[in-house]
């Protein structure tokens, strides 16, 4: 399902929905062999979150279910990945 056009009066709620949807997908945040793996977007734009601790706070705020439970107790290192095929040109 495609998101609605962002509207000024609803933008905060719409951005929260988008963040929740992204973080709860494997491409946003997941655990692989016990290690937290995030989209490289969180690494590239870490300064927008101030620091790595704030990235974790954002993840916890939007994660649900099993992901949220795992994040609460996680104290390990974080790896990053990005699917470059999303940008691949296909004639």
Least reliable range by pLDDT among 26-30, 36-40, 62-66, 83-87: 83-87
The token duo for 69 is 């439970």
Which pLDDT score is estimated for 76?
93
- Helix (H) or strand (E) holding 81, with range, is strand 78-81
- In tens, the pLDDT along 15-55 reads 999 999 999 999 999 999 999 999 999 999 988 886 677 88
What pLDDT score does 90 carry? 79
What pTM, to 2 d.p., does this model score?
A: 0.80
Average pLDDT, the chain: 89
Instruction: Tell me how far the alpha carbon of residue 34 is from its chain's centroid.
Output: 17
The DSSP line for 2-38 is PPPPP-GGGHHHHHHHHHHHHHTSTTTEEEETTEEEE
Closest CA to 78 of 87, 65, 49, 86: 49
């Amino acid at each position: 399902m495609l998101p609605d056009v962002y509207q000024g009066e609803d933008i905060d709620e719409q951005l929260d929905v988008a963040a929740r949807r992204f973080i709860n997908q494997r491409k946003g945040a997941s655990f692989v062999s016990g290690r937290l793996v995030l989209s490289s977007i969180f690494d590239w734009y870490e300064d927008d979150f101030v620091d790595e601790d704030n990235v974790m706070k954002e993840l916890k705020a939007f994660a649900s279910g099993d992901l949220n439970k795992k994040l609460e107790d996680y104290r390990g290192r974080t790896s990053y990945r990005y699917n470059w095929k999303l940008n691949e040109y296909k004639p």
